[in-house]
């Protein structure tokens, strides 16, 4: 349980890093434009980074590790230590995929914004 808890703390740290990245990335894109673009970029970065990471990473880890542990006796939880390592690996993979999808979305948003601004 402690290992899973430490992994959740690590995924929180990864989410803080990704939010800092998307915040500075969107600010660099939109710093010379009006407030409308700034509001759009901040809200998109906020809703995607936090909510995607929350729904994919934390809730998957919560539903798998804690609910399995809650339904099992304490003596058996010690025997499931090897299973917890697999859960940590699964949480890392989910966190990585959520961050990767987030950055791919931000890149597509950036290139779409460039195409629209070039064509107009």
pLDDT at position 112 is 76
User: Which is more confidently placed, 117 or 39?
Assistant: 117
pTM of the model: 0.23
Is the per-residue pLDDT at 114 higher than 50?
yes
d(CA 15, CA 54): 9
pLDDT in tens, 40-98: 455 555 555 555 454 444 444 555 444 444 444 444 444 545 555 556 666 666 667 77
- Is the CA virtual torsion 19, 23, 25, 29 positive or negative? positive
- CA–CA separation, 110 and 112 (whole Å): 5
Which is more confident, 44 or 27?
44
Is the pLDDT at 119 greater than 50, yes or no? yes
Gap between the Cα atoms of 20 and 100, Å rounded: 15
């Amino acid at each position: 349980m402690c290992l899973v808890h430490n992994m959740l703390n690590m995924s929180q740290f990864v989410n803080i890093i990704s939010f800092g990245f998307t915040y500075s990335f969107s600010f660099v894109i939109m710093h010379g434009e009006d407030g409308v673009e700034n509001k759009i970029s901040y809200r998109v970065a906020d809703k995607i980074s936090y909510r995607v990471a929350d729904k994919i990473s934390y809730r998957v880890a919560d539903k798998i590790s804690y609910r399995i542990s809650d339904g099992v006796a304490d003596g058996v939880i010690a025997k499931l230590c090897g299973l917890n390592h697999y859960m940590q690996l699964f949480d890392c993979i989910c966190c990585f995929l959520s961050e990767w999808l987030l950055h791919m979305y931000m890149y597509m948003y950036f290139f779409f914004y460039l195409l629209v601004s070039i064509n107009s």
